Amino acid sequence: MGARATADPAVPTDRGGQPGGGRTPEGKKGRPTPTRKEQEAARRRPLIPEDRKAAKAESRIAERERRAQAQAGMAAGDERYLGPRDAGPQRRFARDWVDSRFNIGEYVLIFLLLILVLMFLPVQSVAITLIWVVYGYIILCVIDAIIMSNRLHAALRRTFGTVQPGTRWYAAMRTFTMRRMRLPKPQVRRGERPE
């Protein structure tokens, strides 16, 4: 009777019959595989916390802190917290371009409120004259925004090669917002050219 090689059932073999299951000593985990019971216990957590009132208060505080952090990051111009409208290097350049100059349109909101007040003046002739002055101011604001956006467009082409669609409109709308009310907050001083 010929000698036959018998495999020891205690030693795992791979498909080629080599001991060790085809794994090298360097590839071992170094710990036993957790049982199903241990895995389920690790995943299991209560669906409803024992103290629901405290859990709700903690959740509210965490959400408030998260919102405050996002608001502060957005105001500071941190790219991680900016929405699609404000994100990107071209939008940052456009914001800095607008913030570095004095814009006539910064006070347009005040003048629009002035129109509402003037409409209720008892002396209509004075009110009409002042309304025309305000309309003239608004026309100047529009002209200033057009000139600014044309110069910005040329600067964007020089700096980036192409211009992201909507960037000129984005910058023009920023000129009509008071400096202290702009979001993200201005990162450059007046007269300081953006890089």
pLDDT digits (tens, 9 = 90+) for 117-153: 877 777 777 777 877 888 899 899 999 999 999 999 9
Is the dihedral angle over the CA atoms 158, 164, 168, 171 positive or is it negative? negative
* Separation of alpha carbons 20 and 105, rounded Å: 78
Question: Number of folded domains in the chain?
Answer: 2
Same domain for 107 and 132? yes
Domain assignment present for residue 51? The answer is yes
Q: In this model, does residue 5 exceed pLDDT 60?
A: no
Same domain assignment for residues 139 and 70: no
Instruction: Give a yes or no: residue 153 inside a domain.
Output: yes
In a domain, 104, yes or no: yes
Backbone angles phi, psi at 115, to 5 degrees: -60, -45
Residue 162 inside a domain? The answer is yes
What's the whole-model pTM score?
0.65
Same domain, 65 and 103: no
The pLDDT of residue 50 is 72
Range in 10-19, 22-31, 66-75, 108-117 with the lowest mean pLDDT: 10-19
Torsion of CA 149, 154, 159, 163, to 10 degrees: 70
The answer on 120 and 67 residing in a single domain is no
d(CA 68, CA 86): 18
Has residue 95 been placed in a domain? yes
In a domain, 136, yes or no: yes
Whether residues 112 and 135 fall in one domain: yes
Question: For residue 2, what pLDDT is reported?
Answer: 47
Residue 45 has pLDDT above 60, yes or no: yes
| One-letter amino acid of 170 | Y
Q: At 94, list the tokens.
A: 């456009």
Mean pLDDT rounded to a whole number for the chain: 82
Within this chain, do residues 63 and 102 fall inside the same structural domain, yes or no? Answer: no
Cα distance between residue 6 and residue 35, in whole Å: 31
Range of the domain at 101: 86-181
User: Is residue 114 located within the same domain as residue 177?
Assistant: yes
